[in-house]
Amino acid sequence: MEAETTSSANYWLLKAEPDSRIVKEKDVKFSVDDFEAAKTSPWEGVRNYEARNLMKEMKVGEKALFYHSNCKNPGVAAFAEVSKEAYPDHTAWDSSHPYYDPKTKQDDPKWFMVDLTFGSRAQHFVPLTLLRFIADSASASPPAGLEYLGDAGVAAIKGMDLVTRGRLSVQRVSEAAWTAVQQLASTGGWDELDLSPKKKSPAKKAAAKAPGERPARAAKTKAKAKKRKAKGSDSEDEESDYEEESEAEVISKTTSSRRKRKAEDYEELPPTRRRAKASS
């Protein structure tokens, strides 16, 4: 009897801007209409180390959610497939390109891109407001009209980077979340739901203004909001593909997380196991 094998395929979410935005006299708009017309497109211009590293993991045939970002109604607009694995992003050394990076070299490329091929439009556009509505719900069960998701689908959506981290332009998606979004896109059923953001209660507002908030973080948040306003975007989903962290910072964070996990695992061991592990 053959042993059961599990799929090792990954699923992804990649963001693009559906509305016109001029950078260095060029429009960086790339909507679902543009994608469908192009059929296959290189995913150039990513200037964030974490997003780049995720693209370098992508394999031909893996599925991706095509997501409208930095617009009034962000959400999943289509489904796509990786058709070419990571290769150097030549736009990085093109001085006329909106995302030109003078620090990268052709013989030692820093930025990479993949090719994505259009699959199909979402029959029902899946807005971020819906995903947040499900994720923010205190209930582990689906809201009325979306019972087809099941508790597993709700749990998968609650765990999506899109609702827990949000702003990275390339994200990993679990198979369960992919399935849940597919179900939403093909079935719909949320027309009767009030997806408007819930207002904070006076108690929560007071807690948010409590002296415990770190001044540096508050200042950073205000600066980002001011920057969005200056660019003419009020979308909370706005994503910048410019470098947010240095490569060393990304590696440092990853290493620190691993060390922390190892330390936590060690502390959970019984004393005898700790001594054995320490001496090995």
Alpha-carbon separation of residue 37 from 3, 41, 121, 172 (angstroms): 43, 10, 12, 26
Query: 17 and 124 share a domain?
Result: yes
Query: 176 and 252 share a domain?
Result: no
Calpha distance 280→78 (Å, rounded): 51
Contact 28, 21 (CB under 8 A): yes
Query: 181 and 250 share a domain?
Result: no
- Mind listing the pLDDT tens digit of every residue in the chain (280 residues)? 444 444 578 999 999 999 999 999 999 999 999 999 999 999 999 999 999 999 999 999 999 999 999 999 999 999 999 999 999 999 999 999 999 999 999 999 999 999 999 999 999 999 999 999 999 999 999 999 999 999 999 999 999 999 998 789 999 999 999 999 999 999 999 999 999 876 655 655 565 555 554 555 556 556 655 555 444 444 444 444 444 445 555 555 555 555 554 544 444 444 444 444 454 4
Looking at residue 229, its pLDDT comes to 47
Query: 23 and 131 share a domain?
Result: yes
**Helices and strands (DSSP H and E) totals, the chain:** 10, 8
Looking at residue 32, its pLDDT comes to 98
Looking at residue 197, its pLDDT comes to 78
Residue 154 lies in a domain: yes
Query: 171 and 255 share a domain?
Result: no
Query: 27 and 154 share a domain?
Result: yes
Please give the residue range of the domain that contains residue 33: 11-193+238-244
Looking at residue 196, its pLDDT comes to 87
Looking at residue 166, its pLDDT comes to 76
Residue 40 lies in a domain: yes
> How many beta carbons lie within 10 A of that of residue 100, not counting itself?
15
Query: 163 and 260 share a domain?
Result: no
- CATH number for the domain spanning 165: value is 3.10.590.10
Looking at residue 199, its pLDDT comes to 67
Across the strands, what pairs with 16?
68
State how many domains the chain has: 2
Query: 176 and 66 share a domain?
Result: yes
Query: 158 and 250 share a domain?
Result: no
Helices (H), 121-230: 128-136, 150-158, 161-164, 175-187, 202-208, 215-230
Residue 106 lies in a domain: yes
- Around 82, how many Cα atoms within 13 Å sit in the side-chain half-sphere? 24
Query: 27 and 93 share a domain?
Result: yes
Query: 148 and 259 share a domain?
Result: no
Residue 153 lies in a domain: yes
- Give the closest residue to 12 by CA, choosing from 165, 120, 172, 185: 172
Query: 264 and 154 share a domain?
Result: no
Residue 117 lies in a domain: yes
Residue type, 154: V
Residue 229 lies in a domain: no
Looking at residue 226, its pLDDT comes to 58
Looking at residue 9, its pLDDT comes to 83
